[in-house]
Structures are given as structure tokens and as C-alpha cells.
Amino acid sequence: MSTFAVLRDLDFPVGVVVTDADDVVTTYGDTTTTFRWASVTKLVSAMASLVAVQRGLVDLDAPAGPPGSTVRHLFAHASGVPFDSGAVLSAPGKRRIYSNRGIELLAEHVEEQVGTDFTSWAEETVIDPLGLSTVLLEGSPAHAATGSTEDLARLGRELLAPTLLGPELFQEATSVVFPGLSGVLPGFGRQQHNDWGLGFEIRDHKSPHWTGSSSSPRTFGHFGQAGSFLWVDPDARLAAAFLGAKRFGEWAAAAWPQLTDAILAEHARR
């Protein structure tokens, strides 16, 4: 069966790029058209914020967000800030509350520390250095980016073999921060261990999940409500980018895990 068989019956445009650390492995569909990234935007914003940490301009343990919260809490959706407002639902570090507003507060803090607006900082530190020529960040750093699947895969290659971050910080960013926190993974329900790193969702043993049953627990990345994802599996040394013209829904929850398992199975046979 074809790696992409599960996508054949979709009645809207999609683009898929599978890559290793060096180059594209395989593609499917429309990989050059610009699509909305929605929450996959957070991967660009996380990397830009982490570059500020790497350069000593931002301190992970500096106060940021609601009282008692730090930069680290905002990165890891553990500040207690709800999805889209500034109210506080929990003390910092007690619950994993997925929050667009938390990422916006993180970006505001980075702006203050680096002395320029966040979009310019993201362009200077991530988008331009990686050659993401189609990517535009116009609006919220939590969900407003657009770009091609090819460029999203370029970001995946960077995450397989980082050049923008040192190994120690990258390891911390892609490991679980504040382990053991429960919370709701949007679209997939409550998870007893809703694990996140510094801006990256960590697959670990979540079930159900948008990656595959054969994905390694160390897999990290993000998906978006626009019908978008980027996962990076460091054990398989592979990343896959998906963008589409239909919002996330039952079709994605069903197709994406099957697609992921097919990609990993095909890669293992090579």
C-alpha cells in the first residue's frame, strides 16, 4: 500500500513533505502553495524565543505572565493562563493549560528584552537564517503564520540537526518541562501526563494522539487547527510536515496517525 494511500480520498488540497536531517525524502500533493499554519506557528515563535535565551537576552526563570509565573511556565503551557484571555485558572506549575495567550505573553516579554518587535525578531533569528522564504508572521505569534509545506519541512530539518541553538538548550527544550502535569490536548481530550517541552509538544505515551502508534516517545512538534502539523522523531531521524486547506476535524484525527505510521514503516524498510 502506498505511504500516502490514506490521503487519496481527501477532497481538498494538501501538501506533505518528509525529510531527514539532510534533504527531502518524499513528498505528496501541493508542497509549494501557502497555507495557514495556525498553532504550528508556535514552533517558529518558540525557536525565536529560545534564540533569545541562547544569546543571554532572556532568562527562563525570570518572572513573566501572571504572579508566580516565569518564562519557563509560559513556554510550557504551565502558567495558569487560559486559552485566549489574561485571566488565571491555576497557580503556575499545577496544570497544563494550553494557551495562545500564554505564548503571546512570552512574545511580549521577549520583545521587551531584545528591544524590537517580535515579528522582526523571529524573521531575524529564525525565518531568514533558515531560508523560509514563503513564511509570513502577521499577527499573533501563537497562530498567525502562513507558509508552504516545503518551508515547514525546512524547519523540521533544523529541528533534526539544530544550528540555531546549542545542544544543552535544545535538549531541554525538547524534553518534558514540569513533568506529570495533566491537561487537555486540544482535539484529543484529557491526558494524564500532558507533556510539553519549551514550546514543543512531547509525544511521550499520550493516547489518543495525532502522531502514530509507532512514533517514538521522544517525538516532538505541534499541530494546528488549520489542518497542519510538523512532527520530528529523533529516534527515526525523520520529520514530516503536513499542511492542508481544511480545518482540523475528525478527518485529521483519523488520517494523521495512519499517515505517520505509514511514513515510519516505509522509512524503516529503506
Residue 243 and residue 152: Cα distance in Å, rounded? Answer: 9
All structural domains of the chain: 5-269 (3.40.710.10)
pLDDT tens-digit series, residues 79-97? 999 998 878 999 999 999 9
Quickly state the pLDDT bin for 1 (edges 50, 70, 90).
Answer: low
7-49 pLDDT, tens digit per residue, is 999 999 999 999 999 999 999 999 999 999 999 999 999 999 9
Average pLDDT of the residues in 166-184: 97
Q: Tell me the pLDDT tens digit for each residue of 198-255.
A: 999 999 999 999 999 999 999 999 999 999 999 999 999 999 999 999 999 999 999 9
Say which DSSP state 112 is in.
H
For the segment 62-83, what is each residue's pLDDT rounded down to a tens digit?
999 999 999 999 999 999 999 9
**The whole model's pTM is what?**
0.96
Helical spans, DSSP H, in the chain? 41-54, 71-75, 100-114, 118-122, 149-160, 167-173, 250-269
Q: Is 15 helix (H, G, I), strand (E, B) or coil?
A: strand
Strand, helix or coil at 99?
Answer: coil
pLDDT band at 182 (very low <50, low <70, confident <90, very high): very high
Q: With DSSP H G I counted as helix, E B as strand and the rest as coil, what are the percentages for the chain, rounded to 5?
A: 35, 20, 50
pLDDT in tens, 108-129: 999 999 999 999 999 999 999 9
